[in-house]
Copies of this chain bind each other. A is one copy, B any other.
């Protein structure tokens, strides 16, 4: 997974920025003109304060000595970096439970994402509605994506079907695939894939819980 990026932000920085972003929402409830010190935020997110300053410097946010960083400015800059205030349309492939959950979840709007269509290969599902979106047949995918200039697709089909659909998505001109299928997919070089490996989270929990029999946790 750790592929060398020549420039741009590192995966880990993006993750940390999002971490700050989420905690800052809770930080100074409502009071957007509030300031916070790197030490304060670092304590909240359990990290080093220098790290916080470095990360904020990386996205071009300047703090004020003796005062700190302005909540509003940091939030705005993070939203800007990730384009959360822009409107990005995307499609879902797979009208099953997960596809439905994605379609129904209203929280994506906060991040500038709007799912505008659901596609499914099962003709029995075509015409039904999931999360307020009509399910369309797969042969409408390419024309739809081209017409609306859609660049992002969420892949929410069973593992067996994932690679085939990924091929179709690439063919349709999709530039980024958000892969929720529990398998690795291969795509052309120019297409980026983000694989949400749910089993990694499970492995983490399972490991730290230890055996179901024993009640104690790992050293």
Contact = CB atoms under 8 A, between A and B. Distances in A.
Interface stretch (A32-40, A62-70, A79-87, A138-146): A79-87
A125 to B, nearest CB: 15
Chain A interface category by residue count: 35 or more
Contacts of A210: 83
30 contacts: A1-B16, A1-B47, A3-B46, A7-B218, A8-B219, A9-B207, A14-B200, A14-B207, A18-B200, A22-B184, A22-B199, A23-B184, A82-B206, A83-B209, A84-B206, A86-B211, A97-B97, A97-B100, A98-B101, A100-B101, A111-B199, A111-B203, A113-B206, A151-B209, A152-B205, A152-B209, A178-B201, A178-B205, A194-B201, A196-B198
Interface of A: 1-3, 6-9, 11, 14-19, 22-23, 26, 45-47, 81-84, 86-89, 96-98, 100-101, 104-105, 107-108, 111-113, 131, 151-152, 159, 175-176, 178, 182-184, 192, 194, 196-213, 217-219
